[in-house]
């Protein structure tokens, strides 16, 4: 293990590292001990409260799976709608015509500037006032609307930078052999940039998945919202429910994140590609910079 930032540890540095490790371990153990003893004081570690997740399959079939299904459903629908919409706006922003470029830039920048939660609250209220959706369907529509509005503008930026990341020679060569702008975009730039954008798109899926949890605030019955009826049914094991739900989120999202960075590495190694690969590195709102 070597790094440019520090020398390979000699005997003294090794001793010091061990000292730091021990100090950190002691501190971490102290915190953990305090948390656990507080929790057990408050009866939160009672087997009663955790048992349902391990011995009662109904806790999964009645509460957690349906919640997770709704989470995945909202995320998948949003992604499927947001991707083409994002591609459209991303390409529109690259247009040579001011009349196309300016409105699309305005739309993208506007929806990137507004919190998803605000968009969801608005969509939920708007659907209940101006539409005929039933109360079961409305929250899903509102969640998807919020996510699509926001994420299509983020994906527009991904698409735009994906296309811009291609070497200039690609489009120049295309023009040189007589292709038109539309043809260049369709048959030269887009196919190549799609592979370049894949990691960033998969990471954006993680962002969408996490944001579906905001749906619980507007009463969409997703995974986080499953906690309330579940803890009411199992005698207020709120902490246990929260922990299980958090673990589920981490597992699902970690799988996606790992897939994204595997994809990125894979693409960067690939010899045939143009070498332009958009990073899967996440920002809190997923906007590729």
Q: How many CB atoms lie within 10 A of CB 59?
A: 21
Q: Which residues contact 161 (CB under 8 A, 6 or more apart)?
A: 278, 288
Using CB under 8 A as the binding rule, the residues of this chain from 194 to 253 that contact another protein are 194-195, 198, 202, 206, 210-214, 216-217, 219, 224, 228-229, 231-239, 242, 245-246, 249-250, 253
Asked if 183 and 263 touch (Cβ cutoff 8 Å), the reply is no
Show the binding pattern over residues 119-138: x = contacts another protein (CB under 8 A), - = does not. Answer: --xx--xx-xx--x-xxx--
Backbone angles phi, psi at 161, to 5 degrees: -70, -25
Closest C-alpha to 71, from 125, 142, 140, 128: 140
Does residue number 165 form part of the binding site for another protein (CB under 8 A)? no
Pick the closer one to another protein by CB: 122 or 175.
122
Q: Which 3-state string (H, E, C) describes 4-25?
A: CCECCCCHHHHHHHHHHHHHHH
Across the strands, what pairs with 6? 3
Please state the closest distance from residue 126 (CB atom) to another protein, in A. 6
Backbone angles phi, psi at 219, to 5 degrees: 60, 35
Please state the closest distance from residue 28 (CB atom) to another protein, in A. 8
Pick the closer one to another protein by CB: 52 or 162.
52
Pick the closer one to another protein by CB: 112 or 181.
112
Show the binding pattern over residues 23-52: x = contacts another protein (CB under 8 A), - = does not. Answer: -xx--x------x--xx--x-x---xx--x
Does residue number 257 form part of the binding site for another protein (CB under 8 A)? yes
């Amino acid at each position: 293990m070597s790094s440019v930032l520090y020398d390979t540890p000699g005997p003294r540095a090794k001793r010091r590292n061990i000292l730091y490790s021990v100090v950190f371990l002691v501190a971490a153990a102290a915190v953990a001990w305090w948390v656990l003893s507080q929790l057990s004081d408050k009866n939160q570690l009672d087997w009663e409260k955790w048992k349902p997740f391990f011995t009662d399959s109904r806790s999964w079939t009645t509460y957690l799976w349906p919640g997770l299904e709704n989470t995945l459903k909202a995320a998948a629908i949003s992604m499927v709608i947001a991707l083409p919409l994002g591609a459209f706006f991303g390409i529109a922003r690259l247009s040579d015509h001011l009349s196309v470029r300016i409105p699309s830039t305005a739309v993208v920048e506007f929806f990137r500037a507004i919190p998803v939660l605000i968009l969801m609250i608005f969509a939920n209220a708007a659907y209940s006032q101006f539409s005929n959706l039933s109360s079961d369907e409305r929250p899903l529509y509102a969640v998807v609307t919020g996510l699509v509005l926001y994420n299509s503008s983020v994906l527009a930026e991904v698409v735009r930078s994906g296309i811009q990341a291609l070497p200039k020679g690609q489009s120049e060569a295309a023009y040189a052999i007589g292709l038109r702008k539309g043809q260049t975009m369709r048959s030269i730039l887009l196919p190549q940039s799609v592979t370049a954008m894949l990691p960033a798109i998969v990471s954006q899926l993680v962002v969408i998945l996490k944001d579906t949890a905001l749906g619980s605030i507007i009463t969409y019955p997703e995974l986080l919202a499953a906690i309330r009826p579940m803890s009411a049914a199992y005698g207020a094991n709120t902490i246990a429910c929260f922990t299980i739900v958090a673990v589920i989120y981490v597992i699902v999202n970690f799988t996606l994140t790992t897939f994204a960075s595997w994809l990125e590495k894979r693409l960067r190694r690939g010899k045939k590609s143009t070498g332009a690969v958009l990073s899967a590195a996440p920002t809190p709102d997923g906007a590729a910079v």
